[in-house]
Structure 1
Protein backbone atom coordinates (compact mmCIF):
# COMPACT_ATOMS: atom_id res chain seq x y z
CA UNK A 1 0.00 0.00 0.00
CA UNK A 2 1.14 3.49 -0.79
CA UNK A 3 1.93 5.48 2.32
CA UNK A 4 -0.24 8.52 2.89
CA UNK A 5 1.48 11.84 2.40
CA UNK A 6 1.81 13.76 5.63
CA UNK A 7 1.27 17.49 5.70
CA UNK A 8 4.27 19.51 6.82
CA UNK A 9 4.00 21.10 10.25
CA UNK A 10 3.30 24.83 10.00
CA UNK A 11 6.07 27.16 11.08
CA UNK A 12 5.53 28.19 14.73
CA UNK A 13 4.09 31.69 14.98
CA UNK A 14 5.93 34.29 17.04
CA UNK A 15 3.79 36.59 19.18
CA UNK A 16 5.34 39.91 20.12
CA UNK A 17 3.77 42.34 22.57
CA UNK A 18 4.03 46.12 22.20
CA UNK A 19 2.76 47.09 25.63
CA UNK A 20 3.00 50.88 25.74
CA UNK A 21 4.10 52.79 22.64
CA UNK A 22 5.11 56.41 22.90
CA UNK A 23 1.79 58.22 22.78
CA UNK A 24 -0.62 56.64 25.23
CA UNK A 25 -0.49 57.21 28.99
CA UNK A 26 -2.33 55.91 32.04
CA UNK A 27 -5.12 58.34 31.16
CA UNK A 28 -5.79 56.04 28.21
CA UNK A 29 -5.48 52.86 30.28
CA UNK A 30 -4.43 52.55 33.94
CA UNK A 31 -2.54 49.30 33.22
CA UNK A 32 -0.34 50.81 30.51
CA UNK A 33 3.26 50.14 31.69
CA UNK A 34 5.57 53.15 31.81
CA UNK A 35 8.26 52.37 34.39
CA UNK A 36 10.91 49.61 34.31
CA UNK A 37 9.10 47.70 37.08
CA UNK A 38 5.79 47.94 35.24
CA UNK A 39 7.41 46.78 32.01
CA UNK A 40 9.00 43.84 33.84
CA UNK A 41 5.67 42.80 35.33
CA UNK A 42 4.00 43.10 31.92
CA UNK A 43 6.77 41.02 30.37
CA UNK A 44 6.17 38.20 32.87
CA UNK A 45 2.42 38.24 32.29
CA UNK A 46 2.75 38.29 28.51
CA UNK A 47 5.35 35.51 28.51
CA UNK A 48 2.90 33.33 30.43
CA UNK A 49 0.16 34.21 27.93
CA UNK A 50 2.24 33.15 24.90
CA UNK A 51 4.51 36.02 23.87
CA UNK A 52 8.13 35.45 22.85
CA UNK A 53 9.14 39.10 22.31
CA UNK A 54 8.52 42.46 23.95
CA UNK A 55 8.83 45.75 22.04
CA UNK A 56 9.47 48.60 24.45
CA UNK A 57 9.26 52.38 24.58
CA UNK A 58 10.63 54.34 27.52
CA UNK A 59 9.43 57.65 28.97
CA UNK A 60 10.88 60.69 30.70
CA UNK A 61 9.76 61.95 34.13
CA UNK A 62 6.77 63.69 32.55
CA UNK A 63 5.70 60.50 30.78
CA UNK A 64 6.74 61.66 27.33
CA UNK A 65 8.38 59.50 24.67
CA UNK A 66 12.12 59.20 25.16
CA UNK A 67 15.11 57.85 23.26
CA UNK A 68 17.74 57.42 25.95
CA UNK A 69 20.33 54.68 26.41
CA UNK A 70 20.27 54.75 30.22
CA UNK A 71 16.49 54.48 30.28
CA UNK A 72 16.61 51.58 27.81
CA UNK A 73 19.28 49.80 29.84
CA UNK A 74 17.24 50.17 33.04
CA UNK A 75 14.05 48.88 31.41
CA UNK A 76 15.87 46.01 29.69
CA UNK A 77 17.62 45.00 32.92
CA UNK A 78 14.32 44.92 34.80
CA UNK A 79 12.75 42.76 32.10
CA UNK A 80 15.74 40.41 32.04
CA UNK A 81 15.58 40.05 35.82
CA UNK A 82 11.91 39.08 35.51
CA UNK A 83 12.01 36.71 32.52
CA UNK A 84 15.67 35.96 31.79
CA UNK A 85 16.25 35.15 28.11
CA UNK A 86 12.73 33.82 27.60
CA UNK A 87 11.70 36.98 25.73
CA UNK A 88 13.48 38.80 22.94
CA UNK A 89 13.78 42.40 24.15
CA UNK A 90 13.43 44.91 21.33
CA UNK A 91 13.79 48.67 21.72
CA UNK A 92 12.22 51.21 19.39
CA UNK A 93 14.07 53.93 17.50
CA UNK A 94 10.79 55.68 16.65
CA UNK A 95 10.99 59.46 16.60
CA UNK A 96 7.35 60.50 17.24
CA UNK A 97 8.40 63.85 15.85
CA UNK A 98 10.97 64.52 18.61
CA UNK A 99 14.26 63.16 17.22
CA UNK A 100 16.39 63.44 14.10
CA UNK A 101 17.78 60.35 12.31
CA UNK A 102 21.27 60.91 13.73
CA UNK A 103 19.80 60.92 17.26
CA UNK A 104 17.82 57.76 16.56
CA UNK A 105 20.92 55.96 15.34
CA UNK A 106 23.02 57.29 18.22
CA UNK A 107 20.74 55.82 20.90
CA UNK A 108 20.96 52.40 19.25
CA UNK A 109 24.76 52.63 19.21
CA UNK A 110 24.81 53.62 22.89
CA UNK A 111 22.28 51.02 24.03
CA UNK A 112 23.50 48.02 21.97
CA UNK A 113 20.19 46.19 22.33
CA UNK A 114 19.38 42.64 21.35
CA UNK A 115 16.96 43.92 18.72
CA UNK A 116 15.69 47.27 17.44
CA UNK A 117 12.74 48.37 15.34
CA UNK A 118 13.60 50.76 12.49
CA UNK A 119 11.08 52.90 10.61
CA UNK A 120 12.37 53.18 7.07
CA UNK A 121 10.56 56.46 6.39
CA UNK A 122 12.15 58.07 9.46
CA UNK A 123 15.74 56.87 9.27
CA UNK A 124 16.33 57.03 5.53
CA UNK A 125 13.75 59.47 4.16
CA UNK A 126 15.61 60.29 0.94
CA UNK A 127 18.63 59.42 -1.18
CA UNK A 128 20.83 61.96 0.60
CA UNK A 129 20.38 60.10 3.89
CA UNK A 130 21.47 56.75 2.48
CA UNK A 131 25.26 56.93 3.16
CA UNK A 132 24.85 57.57 6.91
CA UNK A 133 22.17 54.91 7.11
CA UNK A 134 24.35 52.40 5.23
CA UNK A 135 27.18 52.97 7.70
CA UNK A 136 24.75 52.51 10.59
CA UNK A 137 23.45 49.26 9.13
CA UNK A 138 27.00 47.94 8.69
CA UNK A 139 27.59 48.67 12.38
CA UNK A 140 24.36 46.83 13.29
CA UNK A 141 25.56 43.86 11.26
CA UNK A 142 28.95 43.83 12.99
CA UNK A 143 27.35 44.09 16.44
CA UNK A 144 24.89 41.28 15.63
CA UNK A 145 21.90 43.41 16.61
CA UNK A 146 18.66 42.20 15.03
CA UNK A 147 17.09 44.96 12.88
CA UNK A 148 13.31 44.84 12.44
CA UNK A 149 11.98 47.17 9.73
CA UNK A 150 8.57 48.77 10.26
CA UNK A 151 6.77 49.31 6.95
CA UNK A 152 3.67 51.52 6.90
CA UNK A 153 2.75 51.08 3.22
CA UNK A 154 3.41 48.53 0.47
CA UNK A 155 5.56 51.11 -1.34
CA UNK A 156 7.96 51.03 1.59
CA UNK A 157 8.38 47.27 1.16
CA UNK A 158 9.39 47.87 -2.47
CA UNK A 159 11.88 50.54 -1.39
CA UNK A 160 13.37 48.30 1.29
CA UNK A 161 13.86 45.54 -1.26
CA UNK A 162 15.71 48.02 -3.48
CA UNK A 163 17.96 49.10 -0.58
CA UNK A 164 18.77 45.45 0.09
CA UNK A 165 19.58 44.84 -3.57
CA UNK A 166 21.89 47.86 -3.70
CA UNK A 167 23.65 46.89 -0.47
CA UNK A 168 22.55 49.95 1.52
CA UNK A 169 21.04 47.40 3.90
CA UNK A 170 23.87 44.81 4.01
CA UNK A 171 21.87 41.64 4.58
CA UNK A 172 20.44 38.98 2.30
CA UNK A 173 17.06 39.81 3.83
CA UNK A 174 15.67 41.37 7.02
CA UNK A 175 12.68 40.79 9.30
CA UNK A 176 9.85 43.23 8.65
CA UNK A 177 6.69 44.42 10.38
CA UNK A 178 3.69 45.42 8.29
CA UNK A 179 1.73 48.08 10.20
CA UNK A 180 -1.79 47.58 8.91
CA UNK A 181 -4.10 50.57 8.77
CA UNK A 182 -1.75 53.12 10.34
CA UNK A 183 -3.02 55.86 8.04
CA UNK A 184 -6.59 54.69 7.45
CA UNK A 185 -9.70 56.49 8.70
CA UNK A 186 -9.95 56.16 12.51
CA UNK A 187 -6.90 53.85 12.40
CA UNK A 188 -9.07 50.74 12.35
CA UNK A 189 -7.33 47.88 10.60
CA UNK A 190 -8.85 45.04 8.58
CA UNK A 191 -7.35 41.68 7.56
CA UNK A 192 -7.67 42.77 3.93
CA UNK A 193 -5.09 45.51 4.63
CA UNK A 194 -2.46 42.77 4.54
CA UNK A 195 -3.13 41.75 0.93
CA UNK A 196 -1.27 44.61 -0.83
CA UNK A 197 1.91 43.67 1.07
CA UNK A 198 1.92 40.02 0.02
CA UNK A 199 0.24 40.15 -3.38
CA UNK A 200 1.76 39.18 -6.75
CA UNK A 201 4.91 41.09 -7.63
CA UNK A 202 5.61 42.24 -4.08
CA UNK A 203 8.94 41.58 -2.35
CA UNK A 204 8.96 38.32 -0.39
CA UNK A 205 10.50 38.72 3.06
CA UNK A 206 11.19 35.35 4.75
CA UNK A 207 10.17 36.61 8.21
CA UNK A 208 7.29 39.08 8.33
CA UNK A 209 5.11 40.22 11.19
CA UNK A 210 1.87 42.17 11.39
CA UNK A 211 0.48 44.71 13.83
CA UNK A 212 -2.98 46.23 13.60
CA UNK A 213 -5.03 49.06 15.06
CA UNK A 214 -8.39 48.74 16.76
CA UNK A 215 -10.63 45.91 17.90
CA UNK A 216 -10.02 43.80 14.76
CA UNK A 217 -6.41 43.33 15.86
CA UNK A 218 -7.02 39.65 16.70
CA UNK A 219 -8.62 39.00 13.28
CA UNK A 220 -5.72 40.69 11.49
CA UNK A 221 -2.99 38.82 13.31
CA UNK A 222 -4.80 35.49 12.98
CA UNK A 223 -5.00 36.01 9.23
CA UNK A 224 -1.28 36.79 9.22
CA UNK A 225 -0.48 33.62 11.13
CA UNK A 226 -2.50 31.51 8.73
CA UNK A 227 -0.71 33.07 5.76
CA UNK A 228 2.76 32.34 7.11
CA UNK A 229 3.45 35.48 9.09
CA UNK A 230 4.00 36.40 12.72
CA UNK A 231 2.10 38.77 14.97
CA UNK A 232 2.40 41.75 17.30
CA UNK A 233 -0.34 42.86 19.67
CA UNK A 234 -0.59 45.22 22.61
CA UNK A 235 -1.67 48.54 24.03
CA UNK A 236 0.58 50.50 21.67
CA UNK A 237 -1.96 49.93 18.89
CA UNK A 238 -5.11 48.58 20.51
CA UNK A 239 -6.83 48.55 23.90
CA UNK A 240 -9.87 46.40 23.08
CA UNK A 241 -10.75 42.72 22.96
CA UNK A 242 -12.41 41.30 19.82
CA UNK A 243 -15.89 41.71 21.36
CA UNK A 244 -15.28 45.41 21.96
CA UNK A 245 -14.74 45.13 25.72
CA UNK A 246 -11.71 46.93 27.14
CA UNK A 247 -8.78 44.58 27.79
CA UNK A 248 -7.63 44.62 31.41
CA UNK A 249 -3.96 44.01 30.58
CA UNK A 250 -1.63 43.52 27.63
CA UNK A 251 -1.57 39.83 28.52
CA UNK A 252 -5.29 39.65 27.67
CA UNK A 253 -4.50 40.66 24.09
CA UNK A 254 -1.63 38.18 23.89
CA UNK A 255 -3.89 35.46 25.26
CA UNK A 256 -6.65 36.15 22.71
CA UNK A 257 -4.16 36.03 19.85
CA UNK A 258 -2.62 32.82 21.19
CA UNK A 259 -6.02 31.19 21.59
CA UNK A 260 -7.06 32.12 18.05
CA UNK A 261 -3.84 30.81 16.52
CA UNK A 262 -3.99 27.56 18.48
CA UNK A 263 -7.63 27.08 17.49
CA UNK A 264 -6.50 27.31 13.87
CA UNK A 265 -3.92 24.58 14.44
CA UNK A 266 -0.88 26.84 14.76
CA UNK A 267 1.97 26.32 17.22
CA UNK A 268 3.56 29.21 19.07
CA UNK A 269 7.26 30.02 18.89
CA UNK A 270 9.40 30.65 21.93
CA UNK A 271 12.16 33.27 22.12
CA UNK A 272 14.91 30.91 20.99
CA UNK A 273 12.86 29.91 17.95
CA UNK A 274 12.42 33.57 17.05
CA UNK A 275 16.14 34.24 17.49
CA UNK A 276 17.01 31.29 15.26
CA UNK A 277 14.53 32.41 12.60
CA UNK A 278 15.96 35.93 12.59
CA UNK A 279 19.54 34.64 12.50
CA UNK A 280 18.63 32.54 9.47
CA UNK A 281 16.94 35.50 7.79
CA UNK A 282 19.86 37.86 8.43
CA UNK A 283 22.73 35.49 7.60
Structure 2
Protein backbone atom coordinates (compact mmCIF):
# COMPACT_ATOMS: atom_id res chain seq x y z
CA UNK A 1 0.00 0.00 0.00
CA UNK A 2 1.31 3.45 -0.87
CA UNK A 3 2.20 5.49 2.23
CA UNK A 4 0.08 8.64 2.67
CA UNK A 5 1.97 11.90 3.17
CA UNK A 6 0.89 14.36 5.86
CA UNK A 7 1.26 18.00 4.81
CA UNK A 8 1.68 20.55 7.60
CA UNK A 9 1.02 24.19 6.74
CA UNK A 10 2.97 26.72 8.82
CA UNK A 11 0.69 29.64 8.13
CA UNK A 12 2.29 32.70 9.72
CA UNK A 13 5.21 32.23 12.11
CA UNK A 14 6.76 35.11 14.02
CA UNK A 15 9.07 36.67 11.44
CA UNK A 16 7.47 37.00 8.00
CA UNK A 17 5.46 40.20 7.49
CA UNK A 18 3.35 41.73 4.76
CA UNK A 19 6.41 43.73 3.79
CA UNK A 20 8.03 40.41 2.87
CA UNK A 21 4.88 39.12 1.14
CA UNK A 22 1.39 40.68 1.27
CA UNK A 23 -0.10 37.18 1.43
CA UNK A 24 1.26 36.53 4.94
CA UNK A 25 -1.87 36.22 7.15
CA UNK A 26 -1.58 38.39 10.27
CA UNK A 27 -5.04 38.82 11.77
CA UNK A 28 -6.98 35.86 13.10
CA UNK A 29 -9.53 36.27 10.31
CA UNK A 30 -6.78 36.22 7.67
CA UNK A 31 -5.23 33.17 9.29
CA UNK A 32 -8.51 31.25 9.28
CA UNK A 33 -9.14 32.09 5.61
CA UNK A 34 -5.58 31.22 4.57
CA UNK A 35 -5.63 27.94 6.50
CA UNK A 36 -8.98 26.97 5.01
CA UNK A 37 -7.56 27.43 1.50
CA UNK A 38 -4.52 25.33 2.45
CA UNK A 39 -6.79 22.67 3.98
CA UNK A 40 -8.79 22.50 0.76
CA UNK A 41 -5.51 22.09 -1.13
CA UNK A 42 -4.44 19.11 0.99
CA UNK A 43 -2.89 20.29 4.27
CA UNK A 44 -3.98 18.32 7.33
CA UNK A 45 -1.93 20.00 10.10
CA UNK A 46 -2.08 23.73 10.83
CA UNK A 47 1.02 24.97 12.67
CA UNK A 48 -0.17 28.13 14.39
CA UNK A 49 1.36 31.33 15.72
CA UNK A 50 -0.61 34.48 16.51
CA UNK A 51 0.26 38.15 16.16
CA UNK A 52 -0.56 41.39 17.92
CA UNK A 53 -2.59 43.99 16.04
CA UNK A 54 0.65 45.70 14.95
CA UNK A 55 1.91 42.44 13.46
CA UNK A 56 4.45 41.68 16.18
CA UNK A 57 4.64 38.16 17.65
CA UNK A 58 2.19 37.33 20.42
CA UNK A 59 1.51 34.51 22.87
CA UNK A 60 -1.96 35.80 23.76
CA UNK A 61 -4.16 32.79 24.68
CA UNK A 62 -7.29 34.70 23.64
CA UNK A 63 -6.00 35.03 20.08
CA UNK A 64 -5.08 31.34 20.02
CA UNK A 65 -8.59 30.53 21.23
CA UNK A 66 -10.19 32.60 18.48
CA UNK A 67 -7.96 30.98 15.87
CA UNK A 68 -8.67 27.47 17.12
CA UNK A 69 -12.42 28.10 17.18
CA UNK A 70 -12.36 29.32 13.58
CA UNK A 71 -10.21 26.45 12.34
CA UNK A 72 -12.41 23.84 13.99
CA UNK A 73 -15.46 25.41 12.38
CA UNK A 74 -14.06 25.81 8.86
CA UNK A 75 -11.51 22.96 8.62
CA UNK A 76 -13.24 19.87 10.05
CA UNK A 77 -10.84 17.31 11.58
CA UNK A 78 -7.77 19.34 10.64
CA UNK A 79 -5.02 18.82 13.23
CA UNK A 80 -4.40 22.03 15.15
CA UNK A 81 -0.84 22.49 16.36
CA UNK A 82 0.15 25.49 18.50
CA UNK A 83 3.70 26.81 18.54
CA UNK A 84 5.50 27.13 21.87
CA UNK A 85 8.50 28.75 20.15
CA UNK A 86 10.57 31.43 21.80
CA UNK A 87 9.98 34.42 19.54
CA UNK A 88 6.49 35.06 20.91
CA UNK A 89 7.27 35.10 24.61
CA UNK A 90 9.56 33.89 27.37
CA UNK A 91 9.30 31.27 30.09
CA UNK A 92 5.82 30.12 31.03
CA UNK A 93 4.24 32.54 28.54
CA UNK A 94 5.41 30.17 25.80
CA UNK A 95 2.93 27.59 27.05
CA UNK A 96 0.13 29.89 28.16
CA UNK A 97 -2.16 28.67 25.39
CA UNK A 98 -1.80 24.96 26.16
CA UNK A 99 -4.88 24.82 28.43
CA UNK A 100 -6.88 25.33 25.20
CA UNK A 101 -5.99 21.69 24.43
CA UNK A 102 -4.99 21.77 20.76
CA UNK A 103 -4.31 18.41 19.16
CA UNK A 104 -0.56 19.05 19.08
CA UNK A 105 2.05 21.61 20.06
CA UNK A 106 5.62 22.15 18.93
CA UNK A 107 8.38 21.38 21.42
CA UNK A 108 12.09 22.03 20.97
CA UNK A 109 14.09 20.01 23.48
CA UNK A 110 17.42 21.84 23.30
CA UNK A 111 18.99 25.19 22.46
CA UNK A 112 20.72 26.30 19.27
CA UNK A 113 21.78 29.39 17.39
CA UNK A 114 19.38 31.37 15.21
CA UNK A 115 20.45 34.07 12.71
CA UNK A 116 20.86 36.84 15.30
CA UNK A 117 20.30 35.21 18.69
CA UNK A 118 20.33 32.04 20.72
CA UNK A 119 17.11 30.03 20.67
CA UNK A 120 17.06 29.16 24.36
CA UNK A 121 15.34 25.98 25.50
CA UNK A 122 16.81 25.22 28.93
CA UNK A 123 16.05 21.83 30.49
CA UNK A 124 13.71 23.22 33.16
CA UNK A 125 11.56 24.98 30.54
CA UNK A 126 11.47 21.88 28.31
CA UNK A 127 10.40 19.80 31.32
CA UNK A 128 7.65 22.26 32.18
CA UNK A 129 6.32 22.53 28.63
CA UNK A 130 6.34 18.75 28.23
CA UNK A 131 4.53 18.45 31.56
CA UNK A 132 1.85 20.90 30.48
CA UNK A 133 1.37 18.95 27.26
CA UNK A 134 0.96 15.74 29.27
CA UNK A 135 -1.48 17.49 31.62
CA UNK A 136 -3.69 18.61 28.74
CA UNK A 137 -3.18 15.49 26.61
CA UNK A 138 -1.39 17.28 23.78
CA UNK A 139 0.95 15.34 21.50
CA UNK A 140 4.24 17.19 20.98
CA UNK A 141 5.80 17.67 17.60
CA UNK A 142 9.52 17.66 18.34
CA UNK A 143 11.28 20.35 16.31
CA UNK A 144 14.83 19.04 15.90
CA UNK A 145 17.31 21.75 14.93
CA UNK A 146 20.28 19.55 15.82
CA UNK A 147 21.20 15.87 16.06
CA UNK A 148 21.26 16.08 19.86
CA UNK A 149 17.57 17.06 19.82
CA UNK A 150 16.68 13.71 18.25
CA UNK A 151 18.58 11.84 20.97
CA UNK A 152 16.97 13.94 23.70
CA UNK A 153 13.47 13.53 22.28
CA UNK A 154 13.80 9.75 22.23
CA UNK A 155 15.17 9.74 25.79
CA UNK A 156 12.28 11.90 27.01
CA UNK A 157 9.73 9.70 25.27
CA UNK A 158 11.21 6.50 26.69
CA UNK A 159 11.14 8.09 30.16
CA UNK A 160 7.42 8.82 29.77
CA UNK A 161 7.90 12.59 29.80
CA UNK A 162 6.14 13.15 26.44
CA UNK A 163 2.44 12.60 25.88
CA UNK A 164 1.27 10.34 23.07
CA UNK A 165 3.20 9.05 20.10
CA UNK A 166 6.67 10.35 19.32
CA UNK A 167 6.76 12.55 16.21
CA UNK A 168 9.94 14.33 15.11
CA UNK A 169 10.39 17.14 12.61
CA UNK A 170 13.84 17.82 11.15
CA UNK A 171 14.32 21.58 10.68
CA UNK A 172 17.10 22.44 8.25
CA UNK A 173 18.36 25.60 6.61
CA UNK A 174 18.15 28.04 9.55
CA UNK A 175 21.20 30.31 9.40
CA UNK A 176 23.74 29.37 12.10
CA UNK A 177 21.90 26.11 12.84
CA UNK A 178 21.79 22.87 10.84
CA UNK A 179 22.20 23.51 7.09
CA UNK A 180 20.15 21.73 4.45
CA UNK A 181 22.66 18.95 3.95
CA UNK A 182 21.56 15.70 2.30
CA UNK A 183 24.07 13.52 4.14
CA UNK A 184 22.92 14.93 7.49
CA UNK A 185 19.28 14.50 6.49
CA UNK A 186 19.87 10.83 5.67
CA UNK A 187 21.72 10.36 8.95
CA UNK A 188 18.83 11.95 10.87
CA UNK A 189 16.47 9.35 9.39
CA UNK A 190 18.92 6.53 10.15
CA UNK A 191 19.42 7.77 13.73
CA UNK A 192 15.72 8.11 14.50
CA UNK A 193 14.99 4.66 13.07
CA UNK A 194 17.83 3.15 15.13
CA UNK A 195 16.78 4.83 18.39
CA UNK A 196 12.99 4.61 17.95
CA UNK A 197 12.06 2.21 15.13
CA UNK A 198 8.92 3.06 13.22
CA UNK A 199 8.65 6.63 14.52
CA UNK A 200 6.92 8.91 11.98
CA UNK A 201 8.90 11.99 10.99
CA UNK A 202 8.56 15.20 9.06
CA UNK A 203 10.99 17.68 7.51
CA UNK A 204 10.96 21.46 7.14
CA UNK A 205 13.30 23.56 5.02
CA UNK A 206 13.73 27.30 5.56
CA UNK A 207 13.67 29.83 2.72
CA UNK A 208 14.93 28.48 -0.60
CA UNK A 209 15.49 25.10 1.06
CA UNK A 210 11.76 24.52 1.54
CA UNK A 211 11.19 22.81 -1.80
CA UNK A 212 14.44 20.89 -1.41
CA UNK A 213 13.35 19.40 1.93
CA UNK A 214 9.85 18.77 0.56
CA UNK A 215 11.41 16.70 -2.21
CA UNK A 216 13.80 14.79 0.07
CA UNK A 217 11.17 13.98 2.68
CA UNK A 218 8.48 12.86 0.25
CA UNK A 219 10.92 10.68 -1.68
CA UNK A 220 12.19 9.12 1.58
CA UNK A 221 8.71 8.28 2.87
CA UNK A 222 8.41 11.04 5.45
CA UNK A 223 5.94 13.86 5.94
CA UNK A 224 6.39 17.53 5.03
CA UNK A 225 5.93 21.05 6.28
CA UNK A 226 5.48 24.03 4.01
CA UNK A 227 4.01 27.51 4.34
CA UNK A 228 4.67 31.24 4.49
CA UNK A 229 6.23 31.01 7.95
CA UNK A 230 9.29 29.34 6.48
CA UNK A 231 9.38 30.68 2.94
CA UNK A 232 7.53 33.49 1.16
CA UNK A 233 8.55 32.63 -2.43
CA UNK A 234 7.81 30.11 -5.13
CA UNK A 235 11.22 30.83 -6.64
CA UNK A 236 13.89 33.52 -6.52
CA UNK A 237 11.75 36.08 -8.38
CA UNK A 238 8.17 35.02 -7.58
CA UNK A 239 6.32 35.58 -4.32
CA UNK A 240 4.01 32.78 -3.25
CA UNK A 241 0.44 34.03 -3.74
CA UNK A 242 -0.86 32.06 -0.72
CA UNK A 243 -0.20 29.27 1.74
CA UNK A 244 -2.39 27.11 -0.49
CA UNK A 245 0.02 27.63 -3.41
CA UNK A 246 2.86 26.17 -1.35
CA UNK A 247 0.66 23.22 -0.36
CA UNK A 248 -0.20 22.60 -4.01
CA UNK A 249 3.51 22.51 -4.83
CA UNK A 250 4.02 19.83 -2.16
CA UNK A 251 1.07 17.89 -3.56
CA UNK A 252 2.68 17.95 -7.01
CA UNK A 253 5.86 16.46 -5.53
CA UNK A 254 3.78 13.75 -3.84
CA UNK A 255 2.18 12.96 -7.18
CA UNK A 256 5.60 12.53 -8.79
CA UNK A 257 6.62 10.07 -6.08
CA UNK A 258 3.31 8.20 -6.08
CA UNK A 259 2.51 9.33 -2.52
CA UNK A 260 -1.20 9.91 -1.78
CA UNK A 261 -2.07 12.90 0.38
CA UNK A 262 -3.14 11.91 3.88
CA UNK A 263 -6.73 12.78 4.74
CA UNK A 264 -7.37 14.27 8.20
CA UNK A 265 -8.55 10.84 9.37
CA UNK A 266 -5.42 9.12 8.01
CA UNK A 267 -3.15 11.79 9.51
CA UNK A 268 -4.77 11.35 12.91
CA UNK A 269 -4.32 7.58 12.70
CA UNK A 270 -0.63 7.92 11.71
CA UNK A 271 0.03 10.30 14.62
CA UNK A 272 -2.08 8.42 17.16
CA UNK A 273 -4.50 11.32 17.65
CA UNK A 274 -8.17 11.05 18.59
CA UNK A 275 -10.55 11.16 15.63
Contact 1:209 1:230 (8 Å CA) reproduced: yes
User: Displacement of 1:146 after TM fit?
Assistant: 2.3
User: Displacement of 1:130 after TM fit?
Assistant: 6.5
Q: Does 1:153 align with 2:149?
A: no
Q: Does 1:99 align with 2:90?
A: yes
Stretches of 4+ moved more than 6 A in 1?
none
User: Displacement of 1:120 after TM fit?
Assistant: 1.6
**Offset from partner CA, 1:153-208 (integer Å, 9 cap, x none):** 1111011112222333355x4111111122448x9735444223123585346111
Q: Does 1:117 align with 2:106?
A: yes
Aligned-partner SS, 1:155 = helix
Q: Quick one: which of 194, 202, 213 aligns to 2:206?
A: 213
User: Displacement of 1:228 after TM fit?
Assistant: 1.9
**Offset from partner CA, 1:28-63 (integer Å, 9 cap, x none):** 110100112111111121122221111111011221
User: Displacement of 1:113 after TM fit?
Assistant: 1.5
* Structure 2 partner of 1:4: none
Alpha-carbon distance between aligned partners in 1 of 2:217 and 2:47, rounded to the nearest angstrom: 19
Contact 1:217 1:242 (8 Å CA) reproduced: no
Return 5+ residue gaps in structure 2 as ranges: 112-119
Give the paired residue count: 264
* Structure 1 partner of 2:9: 17
Return 5+ residue gaps in structure 1 as ranges: 1-8
User: Displacement of 1:243 after TM fit?
Assistant: 6.4
* Structure 2 partner of 1:136: 132
Aligned-partner SS, 1:169 = coil
Alpha-carbon distance between aligned partners in 2 of 1:114 and 1:136, rounded to the nearest angstrom: 13
Q: Quick one: which of 195, 199, 210 aligns to 1:203?
A: 195
Describe how 1:1-283 pairs up with structure 2 within 5 A.
Answer: 9-85=1-77, 87-96=78-87, 98-100=89-91, 102-109=92-99, 111-121=100-110, 125-126=122-123, 128=124, 132-133=128-129, 135-140=131-136, 143=137, 145-169=138-162, 171=164, 173-184=165-176, 189-199=180-190, 202-204=194-196, 206-242=199-235, 244-279=237-272
* Structure 2 partner of 1:3: none
Give the root-mean-square deviation of aligned CA atoms.
2.5
User: Displacement of 1:147 after TM fit?
Assistant: 1.7
Name the CA shift for 1:69/1:134 in 2 (closer, same or farther; >3 Å): closer
Alpha-carbon distance between aligned partners in 2 of 1:53 and 1:132, rounded to the nearest angstrom: 24
Contact 2:57 2:88 (8 Å CA) reproduced: no
Alpha-carbon distance between aligned partners in 2 of 1:54 and 1:79, rounded to the nearest angstrom: 9
TM-score by length of 1: 0.83
